[in-house]
Structure 1
C-alpha cells in the first residue's frame, strides 16, 4: 500500500489538493489496516484522513530547498521506464 504514496514536495507544477488527499488516504489505510472502514469506524477514519491531509499541506508549504523543482512529466516517464524494465519478459 505505501508504495503508492508519492513524493509531493519540490515539483513543478506543485502537488494538487487531490494528490495530497490521496497520499493521506493511503497513509491512514496503512495505519488502520482498513481499505474501507466499517460504518462504526467511518467517522474516525474520515477525520484521520482530513487531519493527515491538513498536516501534509502545512508540511509541504513549510519546506524549503535550493534544488530546482522536478518536472512531473520527466519523473513520471522515469517511473514508467523502471516499471517496463521490472516487468518486461526477457
Structure 2
C-alpha cells in the first residue's frame, strides 16, 4: 500500500493539495489497516487524513534545498524503467 506514496518535495511544478491528500490517504490506510473504514470509523478516518495532509503541507512548505527541482516526467520515466527491470516488460 505505501509503495504508492511518492516523494513530494522539490518538484517543478510544486506538489498540489490533491497529491498531498492522496499520500495522506495512503498513509492512513496503511496504519489503520482499512482500505475503506466502516461507517462508525469514517469520521475518525477522514479527520486523520485531513490532519496528516495539513501537517504534510506545512512540512513541505518549510523545507529548504539548494538542489535543482526535479522534473516529474523524468522521474516517472526512471520509475517505469526500474519497474520494467525489476518485474520484466
> TM over 0.5: same fold?
yes
Q: TM-score range by the shorter chain?
A: over 0.9
Structure 2: runs of 5+ lacking an equivalent: none
Residue in 2 that maps onto 1:47 = 47
Asked if 1:24 corresponds to 2:21, the answer is no
Consecutive aligned runs of 4 or more in structure 1 exceeding 6 Å deviation: none
The alignment yields a C-alpha RMSD, in angstroms, of 0.9
Output the CA distance in 2 between the equivalents of 1:77 and 1:9.
18
Normalising by structure 2, report the TM-score. 0.96
How many corresponding residue pairs? Answer: 89
Output the CA distance in 1 between the equivalents of 2:55 and 2:25.
13
Output the CA distance in 1 between the equivalents of 2:59 and 2:39.
30
